A = this chain, B = another copy of it.
Amino acid sequence: MRRSSTETKAVILAAARERFAADGYDKATIRAIAADARIDPAMVMRYFGTKEKLFAAAAEFDLELPELPADQAGVGLVRHFLRKWEADEGLQVLLRTGVTNEAAAERMRTILGGQVMPLVISLTGDPERAPLRASLVASQLLGLALSRYILKFPPMVAATEEELVAWLSPTIQRYLTE
């Protein structure tokens, strides 16, 4: 039984996302990805050309930040971030490899500048301090993901979504409005 070209490409991409998210760029082997997709490693090269290009495709990512009332931005951002992380492997892919890979780090900077900053500007109407505000917000949210999902600090793993929202949202709110 044979798969269509687009089908196979999608299967490979899904397997790649999973592996990159779980293991990071270097430890996610073309052979391992191919095995997950039940396919020969050569096919991965045929469809994506190169491991770097495969990663670029797997790291495609949109935060899909919602419009938010300014006084609930903190709560909304923390909750949205947590749900996005758990629903979409893209963020984990980027964080897992951005730490040791300049291209992935650059991608995260681009997301900060292209997706987070515009929201902060529209929320605060203050283009001057928006870059710093956006970075501070990102620092706390990425720190959350790091300690809960990557380093797995036990209290962060045990905490519920609502507890985390309650603790972190005032921080985010202050970074946006103070």
Residue positions of A touching B, CB distance < 8 A: 23-24, 26-27, 95-100, 105, 108-109, 112, 131-132, 134-136, 138-144, 146-148, 150-156, 159, 167-168, 170-171, 174-175
Give the number of times this chain occurs in the complex, counting copies.
2
Complex alpha-carbon distance, A18 and B144, angstroms: 27
A126 to chain B, nearest CB (A): 13
Complex alpha-carbon distance, A32 and B8, angstroms: 39
Complex alpha-carbon distance, A138 and B150, angstroms: 13
A120 to chain B, nearest CB (A): 11
Complex alpha-carbon distance, A2 and B166, angstroms: 61
Q: Which B residue's beta carbon lies closest to that of A172? A: B171
Which residues from chain B contact A151 at a C-beta distance below 8 Å?
98-99, 105, 108-109, 142
Contact A146-B139, Cβ < 8 Å, known A23-B100, A99-B24, A99-B95 = yes
Which residues from chain B contact A95 at a C-beta distance below 8 Å?
99
Most buried by B among A27, A134, A155, A170: A155
Complex alpha-carbon distance, A153 and B141, angstroms: 14
Contact A131-B155, Cβ < 8 Å, known A100-B23, A139-B146, A175-B167 = yes
A24 to chain B, nearest CB (A): 4
Complex alpha-carbon distance, A105 and B139, angstroms: 19
Q: A98-B150, A139-B147, A170-B174 are in contact. List 16 more A-B contacts (CB 8 A).
A: A26-B26, A26-B27, A26-B100, A96-B100, A97-B100, A105-B150, A105-B152, A131-B154, A132-B155, A135-B155, A138-B147, A139-B140, A139-B146, A140-B140, A141-B143, A143-B146
